[in-house]
Chains A and B, each alone.
Chain A
Amino acid sequence: MINSKVFFQGLKSLKGSKSPAIPLAACFVALGALLKDAGFNLQQSAASSLFTYALPGQLVMAESLLVGASLVNIFIAVWLVNFRLYPMTVSLFPLLEHNSQPKWKYYLSCHFLAVTSWLIAKDTYKKINKKHRIDFWIGIGIGTWTTAILMTMAGYLSADYLNKDMLIGLAIVNPVYFFCMMIGAMKDLSVSISVVAGTILGPLIYLISAEWALLFAGLISGTAAFLFGEKNGK
């Protein structure tokens, strides 16, 4: 059913000089501590990472609860911040597609789609035979997902021992790791323009509309980069 050799190859991507385990651990430890602050118990904190597994959305949820936002508001705010997962899935899953693989693998494993797993898969999928790429992806997904859940619990349990400066230090690990990985991915012109334009437009549009910033910044700079790439042979 699942090719175990390829699955473990995916799982092993947690090790080595490109290991995502440390940055993942850092940001989910910080999240666990924040959820404790927001009044969650240990089971609820673990459940949040188990079922949501998308850090920016979980941050929005915790902050919204702290200011007493309604459920509908939480839903919309999370949807807007996690909408990026839609284009991210569409830009990864066709690469993992193979006729011999059952559909359920794709529909279930899309839950593993988060920035970390996406960047690793985009970086390494070419090394894997097309037929087994989805199993490789499931390996990456199980590894990163499990790390996130365990580290949320670790963060919750160690919250009393972490001081503010340590938490602030942990919180920057995530954007630093993602920025480095994105710079590593800037191999063609259109991707490079997408990254640079998105980085600038994101905070700029945020000044006008906090909620819609990501959606508009992504669409505008992504489309501009695509058109520019088309004109100039990528």
Chain B
Amino acid sequence: MESSQIIILAIIATSLATFISRFMGALTSKKVSVNSKIFQWFNCVAYSTLAALLGRMIIFPAGVLAESFLFIRIVVLAICIIIFILTKKNLVIPTIFSAALLSFLN
């Protein structure tokens, strides 16, 4: 197969694999009431799965981030969270600062 065909098939496979979870979620949502326990459970699982992904992104990153030092990544994250709390939950300042700080320290 040509490489451009492989890329197109990979885009289709990736998009399908992603949309399945979203669409199943929309279907399940029709049967879940906001006040039910199962909704609470889904809420907890959603937050913890997301947290697991973020923890993994910092400790075992994929892509270019893997070329920075673990210790530096954790320091940058910690400093930015402190800035976020000090600036009364401003998100723009810590995010811009994180890129600058990591580029500088690295």
Which A residues form the contact surface with B (CB < 8 A)? 17-20, 22-23, 26, 30, 34, 39-41, 44, 47-48, 51-54, 56-65, 71, 74-76, 78-79, 81-95, 97, 103, 106-107, 110-111, 113, 115, 118, 164-185, 190-191, 193-203, 205-206, 210, 213-215, 217-219, 221-223, 225-226, 229-230
Contact = CB atoms under 8 A, between A and B. Distances in A.
Tell me if B's interface is mostly helix, strand, loop or mixed: helix
Nearest to B101: A169
Given A168-B106, A176-B77, A39 B9 contact: no
Contacts of A184: 84, 89
A75 to B, nearest CB: 4
Nearest to A195: B51
Tell me if A's interface is mostly helix, strand, loop or mixed: helix
B60 A219 contact: no
Task: Name the residue among A52, A107, A182 with the largest chain B CB count within 10 angstroms.
Answer: A52
A106 to B, nearest CB: 5
Contacts of A170: 99
Contact of B56 (A71, A74, A111, A202): A202
Nearest to A77: B17
A69 to B, nearest CB: 9
B106 A175 contact: no
B11 to A, nearest CB: 5
Contact of B53 (A26, A51, A176, A214): A214
B15 A51 contact: yes
A209 B94 CA distance: 32
Interface string B28-45: 111011100101111111
Contact of A87 (B42, B73, B99): B42
B34 A95 contact: yes
A195 to B, nearest CB: 5
B91 to A, nearest CB: 5
